[in-house]
Amino acid sequence: MKKYDYFKKVLSFNILNGYVVFEIETLYKNRANLILYMDDNGILRLMFYRNGNKEPNKIVDFKPIHGKIDAYDRNNKIIVKNGDYCVLINKDPYNISFMHKGEFVLKEQIRDFDADDHFKIYPSGFVLDDNMYCHANFNITSDEHFYGMGEKYMGLDKREKNITCWQRDALSTSTEYAYKNIPFFISTNGYGFLLNSFVRSNFDFGYSSGISLNVTLEEKCMDYYVFLDEDYKKILDKYTLVSGKTPMIPKWAFGLWMSKCSYMSQDEVLNVAEKLRKYKIPCDVIHIDSWMRKASAGDLCWDRKRYPNPELMIKTLHDMGFKLSIWVWPYIMEGCERYYEALEKGYLVKDEFGDVYKFYPTKLSNEKVAAFDFTNGGFREWYSSFIRHLSDMGVDVIKTDFSEALSEKCIFADGSSGIEGHNKYCFLYSQTVYKALNYKNNDKIIWCRSGYAGSQKYPAHWAGDSFSSLNTLSYILKGGLSLGLSGISFWAHDMGGFYNADFENEEASSSKDEYIRSVEFGFLSPLSRCHGKTPREPWNFDDETLDIFKKFDKLRYKLLPYVYSMAYKSSKSGVPIIRPLFLEFPKDLNAYNVENGYFLGDSLLIYPVFDKDNINIYLPDGLWYDFWGGKEIQGGKWIKEEVPLNRIPIYIRCNSIIPMMSSECQFIEDNAFDEVSLLVYAKENTEFEFYDGNEVKHIFAEVNGGIHIKADCKVNDIKFVNGIK
C-alpha cells in the first residue's frame, strides 16, 4: 500500500533572481523544494521536487519574463505578488492559492476526507518509497468546469472524468482512447494549466472525489504552468506563447485533399487526378498511402514496379495544379537493407533486456516491426536525409501515421524508460519529419495523427481512424473542439469516414447519407480531406451525391479568403479556427451546453447534421443571418430546423464581413487572393483583417445612412446582408 508523504509546512523561503524558492517539510520529515516563477502577464511556473531531484522530463523550459516580484511574510502566510497576480502560501499547514485581481482562482486541496477522517485524496506531495511518483491536488469549486486535454471525443466538459495522458492507437473516434492526449486544460474559474512533462500522467477531474482535481505524474519532479486570465482567448494566447505558436501553412493546404487507403499505382494516381479535373472538382492535394514496397515498409524507398517514374508523376501532378502527399510510419520491417543499417548504427528502440524491441503494429498484423529511435540525435540526422531527398523530389506533404504503440518497457537512446519516452516519441517523430521536409523553405506540411503539447508547431493534424456512421460525426466534432482548446488548430477528419463494416465484419462502403453529411461537415472544417478504406471520390456514388459534393467543394473554395484569414489569426493568437460557442459567448450559460455546433472563425456559426435531419440549434444573443437565404433572426433562443440532405445550417453573425473568392478555380494559386468579393452583414461599423498570404489588409464597412466600404485590397463585388442561393 502506498504511503503518501505530503507537504506539511513551509520552513523558509528566499527571493532569488526573479523567482522564489521555498523549503518544505513533508509528513515524514523529509525535505522538498518548491520554485515559483511569476511574470507580469499572468504566466506562472511552479516546480517541486525532493532534495536532489530537480531535472524533470520537461516539454518546454520557458522561464516567464521576470517582472517585479514582491514577497513578504505575514501572519503565517507568504504573499508573492506581481501587479494583479498573487500567490498566497499558507505556511502551516502548507497550502498554496493563486489569485487574480483579488479573487481566488485556484487553490490546492488539503481537506478531502471521508467519514473515518481519512484522506480520500491526499494533499500534494510524493509517495514515500517511490522516487518516480508525485502529485498535486487542487480544489474544485461547485460550478467549475474544465475543457481541453487534447483530442478527447467523449465530451467537451472534462469534469467528473479521469484522463490518462498516454497516446493510444485509438482505432476509432468514439471512445476515451485518444491519439492526441495533451496535459493542458482551461478552467471556467479563469485559469489554464499545463503539466510540463512528457511522462505518463493522470488527471482526475473530480472523478474519484467531486471536490478534488488530482494530477499525478510518474516522475520525480512536478513542473506545471498556470495561466491566469478571465478571458479564455487570452489564456490560449499565453499557453501558446509558452508551448509554441503555429506557423502559417500554405494556401493550397486549405483546399480539398483527395485520398483513399490506398491508391496502388502511378497510373491510378494520375487517373484520379485526371477525373478530378474532368468533373471540375476543385482539388489541391492528392495523397498516396502505399508507395513503398510492402516487404520493406519504413525504408522510404519508392516501389518502382508500381511507381516506375515517381519524379515524372510528381511533375505531372504539379503541372495539373496538385500537390503530393505520401505516407510514412516510424517503424521498419525486418529484412530490408535499411533495417540492418539502422541496427548496426544503434538506431532502433531497445527492450528492457537491451535487444531490439519488436512488436505487432496493429491488432491484425502478421509480422512484427522495429521502431526507429527518434530520441537519438544521430538517427534523426540520418533519417532526415531521406526526408530531405523526398522533399527535393517534390513531395509537398508527409503523413506521419502511427507512433503510439511503444510499450512502457521500452528503453530509448536518450536513457528514457518507456514511461518517460512514450509520449515524447510521438512528438519527436513529427518534429523530425516536419523540420526535414521544410529544410529549404517553410512551404510544406505534415499530416499527423498523434500529438502532444507543443505539436501545434508542426502542422497539420487529423482525427485518426473514424467510423463512417452518422452518429460518429458528433464525437469527431467534440474531439476537434477539445483539440482546438488544447492549442492545435489546423485539423481535419476523414471525409466519408475511414472505415465501415457489414455484419460479416467485412469492409463496406459508406452509405450515401453517411458520405454526404460527413463531406458537408468536412468542407466547413479547418482543413478538408477525403480518405477511407473504400473509394471516397464522389463519382463513385450517384449523380445527386456528386452534385452535392461539388456544391460544398465550391463553397469551400469560395470561403477560402475568410478561412485563410482566420487561420492566420489563429497562428498568432492561439485561438482555434473551429471553436465552441462559449469561447465567443463566455457569459451565455446556454453556450456551454452546445456540443453539436461550432464557430468557424469569428463569424460563421455551423450546425453539422449527424444522425437526425431535424436538429436543435441554439443562436446566442444578437442578430443572425441565415447564410442560404439571408433571413434575419433574433438570437438568444433555441430553434428547430428540418435540414434537407443538400443543406447544412450556417448562420452569420451580425456585423460581419466575409471575404470570398471573386471567381471559381480548380486549385489555389499563389495570387488567388489578389482580388476578393465581399459579403457584408453590418448594422454598425465593422472591420475585417484580411490576410492575403503576404500581409494583413483592412476592410472597413462604415454605416452612416448606408454602408460604405473601404478596403486596402482589390474588391471585385459586394453583397449586403444577402445569402448565397
Q: What does the CA dihedral 403, 405, 410, 412 come to, rounded to 10 degrees?
A: 0
Looking at residue 61, its pLDDT comes to 77
Residue ranges, CATH 2.60.40.1760, the chain: 4-139+191-228
pLDDT at residue 701 above 70?
Answer: yes
pLDDT at residue 270 above 90?
Answer: yes
Looking at residue 65, its pLDDT comes to 66
pLDDT at residue 267 above 70?
Answer: yes
Q: How far is it, in rounded angstroms, from Cα 14 to Cα 233?
A: 34
Q: Phi-psi category of 589—alpha, beta or left, where left has phi over 0 and alpha has psi -120 to 50?
A: alpha
Residues comprising the chain, all counted: 725
CA separation, residue 58 to residues 52, 54, 199, 285, 456 (Å): 17, 11, 8, 36, 17
At 103-137, the pLDDT tens digits run: 999 999 999 999 999 999 999 999 988 778 999 99
Cβ-Cβ contacts under 8 Å for 144 (sequence gap 6 or more):
159, 187, 188, 189
Q: Which one of 219, 401, 537, 553 is the catalytic residue?
A: 401
C-alpha grid cell, residue 237 = 494566447
Average pLDDT over residues 643-661: 98
CA separation, residue 297 to residues 294, 356, 662 (Å): 5, 17, 45
At 33-47, the pLDDT tens digits run: 999 999 989 999 999
Average pLDDT over residues 2-28: 94
Q: Which one of 169, 237, 404, 692 is the catalytic residue?
A: 404
Looking at residue 725, its pLDDT comes to 35
Looking at residue 158, its pLDDT comes to 99
Q: Are the CB atoms for 349 and 370 separated by under 8 Å? A: yes
C-alpha grid cell, residue 50 = 525532493
Q: State CA 255 to chain mean position distance.
A: 19
Looking at residue 527, its pLDDT comes to 99
Q: pTM, whole model, 2 decimals?
A: 0.97
At 167-213, the pLDDT tens digits run: 999 999 999 999 999 999 999 999 999 999 999 999 999 999 999 99
**3 state DSSP class of 556:** helix
Q: Are the CB atoms for 224 and 201 separated by under 8 Å? A: no
Q: How far is it, in rounded angstroms, from Cα 373 to Cα 660?
A: 46
At 292-313, the pLDDT tens digits run: 998 889 999 999 999 999 999 9
Choose among 19, 228, 212: nearest CA to 103.
228
Instruction: Give kind and range of the element (H or E) at residue 90.
Output: strand 85-90
At 574-613, the pLDDT tens digits run: 999 999 999 999 999 999 999 999 999 999 999 999 999 9
At 498-507, the pLDDT tens digits run: 999 988 888 8
Q: What is residue 413's DSSP assignment?
A: T
Looking at residue 56, its pLDDT comes to 74
Looking at residue 503, its pLDDT comes to 83
Q: pLDDT band at residue 443, thresholds of 50, 70 and 90?
A: very high
Q: What string of DSSP letters covers 643-681? A: --TT---EEEESSEEEEEESS--SS--TTTTSEEEEEEE
Q: How far is it, in rounded angstroms, from Cα 110 to Cα 92?
A: 12
Task: Identify the CATH homologous superfamily for domain 264-458.
Answer: Glycosidases (3.20.20.80)
pLDDT at residue 316 above 70?
Answer: yes
Q: Are the CB atoms for 189 and 237 separated by under 8 Å? A: no
Residue ranges, CATH 3.20.20.80, the chain: 264-458
Q: Return the percentage of the chain with pLDDT > 70, whole number.
A: 98
C-alpha grid cell, residue 253 = 493546404
Looking at residue 724, its pLDDT comes to 41
* Dihedral sign, Cα of residue 570, residue 571, residue 572, residue 576: positive
pLDDT at residue 7 above 60?
Answer: yes
At 556-580, the pLDDT tens digits run: 999 999 999 999 999 999 999 999 9
Average pLDDT over residues 545-552: 99
Instruction: Give kind and range of the element (H or E) at residue 323.
Output: strand 323-328
Q: How far is it, in rounded angstroms, from Cα 700 to Cα 711?
A: 6
Q: Phi-psi category of 280—alpha, beta or left, where left has phi over 0 and alpha has psi -120 to 50?
A: left
Q: How far is it, in rounded angstroms, from Cα 461 to Cα 458?
A: 9
β-pair partners for 24? 10, 32
Looking at residue 722, its pLDDT comes to 54
Q: How far is it, in rounded angstroms, from Cα 380 to Cα 82?
A: 42
Q: Which CATH number fits domain 4-139+191-228: 3.40.50.280, 2.60.40.1760, 3.30.70.1400, 1.20.272.10?
A: 2.60.40.1760
Q: Are the CB atoms for 356 and 334 separated by under 8 Å? A: no
Q: Are the CB atoms for 19 and 39 separated by under 8 Å? A: no
pLDDT at residue 414 above 80?
Answer: yes
Please indicate whether residue 401 is annotated as part of the active site.
yes
pLDDT at residue 288 above 80?
Answer: yes
Please indicate whether residue 404 is annotated as part of the active site.
yes
Q: What is the mean pLDDT of the chain?
A: 96
